[in-house]
């Protein structure tokens, strides 16, 4: 009777589909934690925490929060233009971040060395872009109600992160295996999501700059009003990591 009710209730069915993917992903990561804690030194977990905090903060800024507007338009074509706009802004800002990183590295080299981040300094902007593209594609799939793909992607990502991290932990890259593991997992997820977003390769979306500028102007309130609040919210949630690292 419960199964029949769930099948008839589409909203509840979609929730359970996404929830099952998230749950399986968390179970995979949880079961791998005893293995990882024995293979990887404690200091690497601290470095990983700082790295993820930096990624979280910068990924909020990189698209101007335009991905939040994907769900708004009634027409799918307009939504696709917003997706393209979000991706283009993310690529542009990730390139600007690279220039900033190149400028700041000599100034922050000693601090980066103490945090063991100097070896992976140049993959930061790449990982930020990959993560933001994943977020944008997830919004697109949410709009088109392709919840099974979202669920499968979560399971794939969790499995890839676990396998990659364990394999890297057995090599000389042990100290950055957690960082490289999640990078590989995010990249694998991006490839999977990109395969299901092939319709965005249509030349029509790239040959209409006026439509892109229209979307840029129409939804300008997202970067103007939502980005500052999102940055403060992310800083509030990640600041304990930086504070604890400062004293220990």
Confidence grade of residue 43 (pLDDT, cut at 50, 70, 90): confident
Residue 114 pLDDT grade (very low, low, confident, very high; cuts 50, 70, 90):
low
The more confidently predicted of residues 236 and 84 is: 84
**Could you tell me what percent of the chain has a pLDDT over 70?**
85
pLDDT at position 113, please? 53
User: pLDDT tens across 72-87, in order?
Assistant: 998 888 899 999 999 9
Task: Note the pTM of the prediction, 2 decimals.
Answer: 0.87
Please check the confidence at residue 7 and state whether its pLDDT lies above 90.
Answer: no
**If 0-12 CB within 10 Å is exposed, 13-18 middle and 19+ buried, where does residue 178 land?**
buried
pLDDT tier at 139 (50, 70, 90 boundaries)? very high
CB 76 within 8 A of CB 145: no
Q: How many helices (H) and strands (E) does the chain have?
A: 10, 0
Phi, psi (degrees; rounded to nearest 5) at 228: -60, -45
In contact, 71 and 142? CB cutoff 8 Å: yes
Contact 176, 44 (CB under 8 A): yes
pLDDT digits (tens, 9 = 90+) for 210-223: 888 889 999 988 88
pLDDT band at 234 (very low <50, low <70, confident <90, very high): confident
Mean pLDDT of all residues in the chain?
83
pLDDT score for 21: 85
Give the range among 26-40, 101-115, 141-155, 190-204 with minimum mean pLDDT.
Answer: 101-115
Confidence (pLDDT) at 98: 82
Provide DSSP, 200-230.
Answer: GG-GGGTS-HHHHHHHHHHTTHIIIIIHHHH
**What is the tens place of the pLDDT at every residue in 8-22?**
667 777 788 888 888
**DSSP structure string for 116-153:** T-GGGGGGHHHHHHHHHHHHHHHHHHHHTT-HHHHHHH
């Amino acid at each position: 009777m419960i199964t029949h009710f769930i099948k008839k209730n589409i909203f509840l069915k979609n929730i359970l589909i996404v929830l099952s993917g998230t749950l399986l992903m968390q179970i995979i990561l949880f079961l791998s934690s005893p293995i990882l804690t024995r293979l990887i030194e404690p200091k690497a977990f601290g470095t990983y925490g700082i790295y993820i905090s930096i990624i979280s903060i910068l990924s909020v800024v990189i698209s101007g929060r335009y991905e939040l507007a994907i769900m708004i338009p009634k027409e799918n074509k307009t939504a696709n233009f917003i997706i393209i706009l979000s991706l283009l802004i993310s690529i542009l800002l990730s390139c600007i971040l690279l220039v900033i990183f190149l400028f700041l590295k000599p100034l922050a080299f000693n601090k980066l060395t103490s945090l063991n981040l100097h070896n992976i300094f140049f993959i930061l902007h790449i990982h930020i872009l990959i993560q933001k593209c994943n977020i944008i594609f997830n919004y697109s799939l949410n709009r088109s109600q392709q919840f099974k793909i979202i669920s499968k992607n979560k399971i794939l990502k969790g499995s890839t992160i676990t396998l990659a991290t364990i394999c890297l932990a057995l090599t000389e890259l042990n100290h950055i295996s957690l960082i490289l593991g999640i990078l590989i997992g995010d990249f694998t997820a991006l490839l999977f999501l990109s395969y299901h977003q092939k319709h965005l390769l249509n030349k029509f979306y790239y040959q209409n700059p006026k439509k892109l500028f229209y979307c840029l102007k129409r939804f300008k309130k997202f970067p103007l009003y939502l980005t500052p609040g999102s940055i403060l919210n992310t800083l509030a949630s990640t600041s304990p990591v930086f504070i604890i690292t400062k004293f220990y």
